[in-house]
A and B are shown apart, each in its own frame.
Chain A
Amino acid sequence: MTKVLDPTNEATPTDIPRVARPESLEGLTVGLLDISKPRGDRFLDRIEERLVERGLRVERFRKPTFTKPAPVDLRHEIATKCDVVIEALAD
């Protein structure tokens, strides 16, 4: 029998279930998160046009850089203001 020491962080991840997808966007606020990748804004501009045409409320957000996780304050702001969020990973 060989006995070794565990090289991992031994963490047990907590599963946080996603919010259920809404049946319809009617009356909801849609967040559009630009991660600052080049041309991601073009994609989001078009999405915004389409959503506004349908009479939806849209909030725009932008990460300072795509190379780092979104700052916790930004994540909190999005969660507070929006019902759903669309993130653009365009290049």
Chain B
Amino acid sequence: MSLHQSVALPEGLVAVVKQDCPTCELVVPVLEQLANQTGLTVFSQDDPDFPAAIGNKRFDEDLSISWHHTIETVPTLLSVENGKETARTVGWSRSHWESISGVSDLGTELPDQRPGCGSLSVDPSLAADLELRFGGLNFSARRVEFAALEDTHEALYDRGWTDGLPVIPPSEARVLAMLRGTSRSPDEVVATVPPDLAPCTVEKVAINAVMAGCRPEYLPVVLAAVEAVCTETFNMHGLLATTMPHAPVLVVNGPIADEIGMNSGNNALGQGNRANSTIGRALQLVIRNVGGGRPGEVDRAAFGSPAKVGFCFAERESDSPWPPVSTMYGFEPGTNTVLAFPGEAPRNLVDQLSRDPDSLARTYAVNLISIQHPKLVLGFDAILAVAPDHSRVFGEAGWSREQLAERITELTVRPGSELIRGAGAIPEGIPEAMKDLDLPKFRPNGLHIVHCGGAAGLFSAIIGGWVNGDMGSNPVCVEITP
């Protein structure tokens, strides 16, 4: 590849240095030696007058030389013949510098070698801007410019792109940095997002993830979440359009949860953790901006819930008495997954006195029965989030997740005569035809028991589900890929 004239290297020896590097300072006598004996061009990254004693020096002010020649360390010494780099060494090593320059007895008063410093062109605070300027990456998304006198945050809100909270402006540099969080190509279509059924690329997800406040390492989780909800099984369209308050609730399993700093402990379902707070929000912004799903339009929720801002947490796997909840979906423990569950805001459940598994299961059952309506059964799943003070009881008694779910379900069984329309002087209920059946609250695998929460507190939490099955939505668990 032929480089543009302005970034071509001059013939002969070339050194790239910066003044703010002790090794570069150290080798100044060597640079002088080479300048006198063989000729040398020095590029300085940060100070046009450095090194003072060298005449043939150039200021790589925009770092274009450094970026185009992949300088990662300073000093770097290069040999250029007929416009091509023939040799390179980084840092100071007398033997390497002598071999490249063909000059002996270089820097005899210096130590034999000294590692260099990081090149400014790979400085994390500059790298994204440089790649934008020189890398030739073309975003597919339209560029939108705001006038100098416009308040950016107000302008983003006025365009209808936010959930009501401020967003991070999705500049090209930020989106580029976000895209580094995945190995997937920016133009890859991740999903078709309802309600507009719009094809959504990795790039569009990255833009919305920036706005939500995600760090690049969260992007694979957001991508997996978008994939999970935009399936026929999950039925995101229905979940959005329903008059009920539900939204995707995301549960993350696997080592990625700790790697990206997710919270599964104290206040796991609350505020204060960047990953928990922004991953769920990014998904909601994708639904809003790419899918066109906005409250009062296709979103017909009567109440909505805080879960609709974004609801994401990790399972507390480290001291859980159970394997990860993702194993319900056939994943091996240790697999990075995200479970999308159509749920509402959580509510707390207190039992500070039970010390045996069966009495705790009874507490769970009487509380879980009330999801949506005590007289409506089988139509709604639930997440039961069990905190360590409760889970310990099941761990010590050797109760598996399946055993607990089965016992709770069994304890919710009631005669249909108590549940039919009109029973208990309440018209709401199941059809009259079911009056002779004994019915549990949950369908098989409808109850999702997840270990999370802080180490103190004899509580669990319930996240009620939306209409389940083919009529509504089924939870979807997918693997998170890099």
Task: Name A's B-contacting residues (CB within 8 A).
Answer: 1-11, 64-65, 67-69
Contact, CB under 8 Å: B207 / A7: yes
A10 and B235 contacting across the interface, CB-CB below 8 Å: no
Question: Is B152 part of the binding interface, using a Cβ–Cβ cutoff of 8 Å?
Answer: yes
* A7 contacts B148, C-beta separation under 8 Å: no
Chain B residues, CB < 8 A from A3? 143-146, 171-172
A2-B152 contact in complex given A7-B211, A7-B290, A68-B235, C-beta closer than 8 Å: yes
- A–B Cβ pairs within 8 angstroms, 15 of them: A1-B145, A4-B143, A4-B171, A5-B170, A5-B203, A6-B142, A6-B207, A7-B141, A8-B290, A9-B196, A9-B200, A9-B290, A11-B196, A68-B235, A69-B237
Knowing that A4-B144, A8-B289 touch, tell me 5 more A-B residue pairs with CB under 8 angstroms: A1-B148, A2-B150, A2-B152, A5-B144, A9-B199
Let me know if B472 is at the binding interface, CB within 8 A: yes
Is there an interface contact between B146 and A4, defined as CB atoms closer than 8 Å?
yes
Most buried by B among A1, A11, A68: A68
B142 lies within 8 A of A10 (CB): yes
CA distance A11 to B290 in the complex (A): 9
Say what secondary structure dominates the interface of chain B. mixed
**Residue ID in chain A nearest B143 by CB atoms:** A3
CB distance from B192 to the nearest CB of A (A): 10
Interface magnitude class on chain B: 35 or more
The answer to the question of B14 belonging to the interface, with a C-beta cut-off of 8 Å to chain A, is no
What residues of chain A lie closer than 8 Å to B207, measured between beta carbons? 5-7
Interface residue? B161 (CB, 8 A):
yes
Q: A2-B169, A4-B170, A67-B472 are in contact. Are A9 and B198 (CB under 8 A)?
A: yes
Task: State the CA gap A68–B236 with chains docked (Å).
Answer: 9
B175 in the interface (beta carbon within 8 A): yes
A59 to B214, CA, bound (A): 52
* Contacting pair A67 B145 (CB below 8 A): no
Sorted nearest first, the 8 A-B pairs with minimum C-beta distance are: A67-B238, A9-B198, A6-B142, A5-B141, A7-B289, A2-B146, A65-B471, A7-B207
CB contacts (< 8 Å) of B152 on chain A: these are: 2, 4
Q: Is there a chain A Cβ closer than 8 Å to B34's Cβ?
A: no
Q: Tell whether, in the assembled complex, residue B204 and residue A9 are in contact, meaning their CB atoms are under 8 Å apart.
A: yes
Given A6-B141, A67-B238, A69-B237: A1 and B147 within 8 A (CB)?
Answer: yes
- Using Cβ atoms and an 8 Å threshold, which residues of chain B touch A8? 161, 289-290, 292
